[in-house]
Amino acid sequence: MRVALLEPLGVSEERISQLSVPIRERGHEFVYFGEKTTDPNELAKRTSGADVVMIANNPYPASVAEGADALKMVAVAFTGIDHVALDACKAKDVTVCNCAGYSDVSVAELTIGLTIDVLRKVAEGDAAARSGRTSAGLCGREIAGRTVGIVGTGHIGTQAGRLFAAFGAHVLGYARHENPEATAAGIEYVDDLDALLRASDIVSLHVPNNASTRHMFTAEKFALMPEGSVFINCARGAIVDNEALAEALNSEHLAGAGIDVFDMEPPLPSDYALLHAKNALLTPHVAFLTEEAMERRAVIEFGNVVSWLDGTPENVCSL
């Protein structure tokens, strides 16, 4: 079979070569494209003749999947798979596998980092120090003693809850299904999302982007949060009505927000509402991006391919 890695994985080419050894030892062809592309025509060329394609977080559109006559498996080096043409894959009976778990620690840590930055005005302090100003106007707030609402208590949400608890916060959780690991970590479940929002000084999102979560957070939801509360999103941008979030910040109902994800991939257009919102701390979708996470996802993705080739697929996604 032909296995094609269509884009870089954030590890060295030497490491890619090492990880591909089990594929080649089994007698399969492995090809690697070391430059990222989002051009559908180029993706189609790279996919041509491949039984297995390996991708990261770049879109894999329906036009490419539908025209890939040999395609049998898509290995995604990411937790979310909403950037893959899932309907086309399902129609062709293509197996899709993800790398769930590779970025649990990295995303949870950035969640804490953004929270601290917003509460302690770290970015503003850096600007003040560099421009010869003093600490005037930079009095911050602590995580300790505050109530944190975790929306989505899977692996990442639970890890974030553990970290917030370590800072001395009271951690609430809301999810469709309770996770025993979250309970063991000290997260107290709330049956109703609105009740969690009303009770939380800090709200952090950790749910996937799907039909049931899209625009889960609207102006009405932000209005339920206490005045002066903080909103953190390291999950998916489409879960949030980002114009409503910008308005909640500009009206100063929310004291601040730390946002790593948007309803489009950066670069953001100059008129994007959050770029001009008060007290909005933005990062360009980097929560998953650590050296350790890149190594973990590469190992998992190649492992997924080898397992599928051996007839014992792992991390198979329901389409």
Q: Give the residue numbers marked as catalytic.
A: 236, 265, 285
Which has the closest alpha carbon to 263: 247, 284, 240, 235?
Answer: 240
For the CA atoms of the chain, what is the radius of gyration?
A: 21
Largest interatomic CA distance in the chain? 67
Alpha-helical runs (H) found in the chain: 13-19, 21-25, 40-47, 62-66, 86-91, 104-120, 122-130, 155-166, 180-184, 193-199, 219-224, 242-250, 291-309
End-to-end CA, the chain: 24
Contacts of 21 (CB under 8 A, 6+ apart): none
Residue 131's Cβ-count burial label (10 Å; 0-12, 13-18, 19+) is exposed
Q: What are phi and psi of 304, to 5 degrees?
A: -60, -40
